[in-house]
Structure 1
């Protein structure tokens, strides 16, 4: 093993994102960058322990579900994986996960791949004993081995919850918890490993709102590029149209909410951006959005004032001072926010966001499609590279 850092991977084969994360981590392990400590757990048990539904997408708006599924396809295609949702997902994986606890640790990665492929590519009913027995037999496992791993799986699942895991994949690296296949790049950063390109090179249409800290992280690095078109939009109005919570973090369970606050800080650190969570949250962003429509050069100063300095940029006096300090005409820009033409442009941007399927902020319209989240910028860059 040498001095390679360890990454703990809490996973369940019922989760396709855990497969994507595992594939990325295994490729890093093969390159000698890290060592994976595999931690099979029961995702359903974790979700019940933290008060989350077993099928979180059931509560999502149809447009958001469609986007998430398209995004999963893109993540899989970047790795050469084929993922198809079974019509009866989620299927029971408790015995499959017990098999992963029971198997020789040296062969666990291979069995995990077999089970993921069976579930997500071949559509196999791995909840059925005869199907699972056929899959695990080449690994020297019997049904008695599966039954004997009950306590081990329960212990892993309990430990995951105790350590703050609330979903899959849960990864621990450098003493930090990372959640989701899109956080493998953050794992690289936490371990001091070289990072891939964080931004794409192709033209982008950027839908953003100052009220979102992730918009700050995903918009500021793109400012000044001539091939980037900024589309300030009203995120709250978008959410109301889609039928999703206006303040999403308020709907999260305690563990996920705590992780999200840490995650924004970690993402800012990775991008080298100063950050403090605004004490004025949620921010009333209508005024700063209208100002940015009049003067795009105000975008950077407003984001910095809101998410680095913690100022209430929704207040006219505060916003005027921020604009003046940036060498902009604060008085005129704040007054201009009442112009009916400016108000109409903000409505038009929001309507365009709805029409193209934007599910949140920031979102990016690229030649390769619509992408949601600042963490999709590296994915767009990766997909650009694969097409080059």
Structure 2
């Protein structure tokens, strides 16, 4: 499988996708390129490569790609082992695990996209590009952590913040139409007092509701090793801003490919969609003292699955003393935050001795004199 570094046509430096400008930026000559310009350059490069590549070599590459994909599908196969790639910029070997789709060269630090991981059935349909850059992500993190008084300083020191990573996580997106029907009996009670007597009026209604609901982009994370609480807690995304997938968007970021197929989520997603549709019908039925449901059905049609890479800024902290890993996650499009924070016991002890202990002694002293 090929490893690709997007090169600046002006100086041959590595290109990275800049979330703030939504363009590809060269950090060496400071040139910028749009997605259309990059696609044009990529197509020209592929065309030149095909012209100079022997047919037998192309067939050999195709067979090698098929072999690797087969290994990935076999439990315990070679695809579960670390994989070596050669950096196209400096020739150094890059070691990745089986799901890594974009990374950096450890030697020349150029961004590298592992194109073979994103071809055929593993090619995403869509991508939501990062819209929050590293500087903004660090600013959001600093503001958020600034309100947390009892977090260890090592969690938010400069070195720790610099380890924040922008990662594209793989998601399956489910869309469908749901035809729902609700048949129920609703009861309303009205009670009042007159001349020392209490009266109760009972009114019974036939409640019928029908409707069709459009369901778009129910997301399920397709990476088995991912911390699901971390990556799912920053949902949802503005799916209307998704783009057709292009590998160039990954340049300058990390990216993971899926290792879970949509069949593993079908029953769970269908159940969730049906329950949501029926609950929506019942909520629209009106307010009653009680409701007895006689019939409720939800039929699903026009199902569609798509595969997308969605952006997340992540930061992890390994608390070796307690043997726990804490995390911070930031939606790379909307800025939604999720985090699990460690607590510095020393700060808690200092708080106790500086506030609660003097207060306790004051109360004890006051009680002594009053007594």
Q: TM-score under structure 2 normalisation?
A: 0.26
- Could you say which structure has the higher strand fraction? 2
- Could you say which structure has the higher helix fraction? 1
Which of 1 and 2 has greater Rg?
A: 2
More contact order relative to length (CA 8 Å, sep ≥ 6): 2
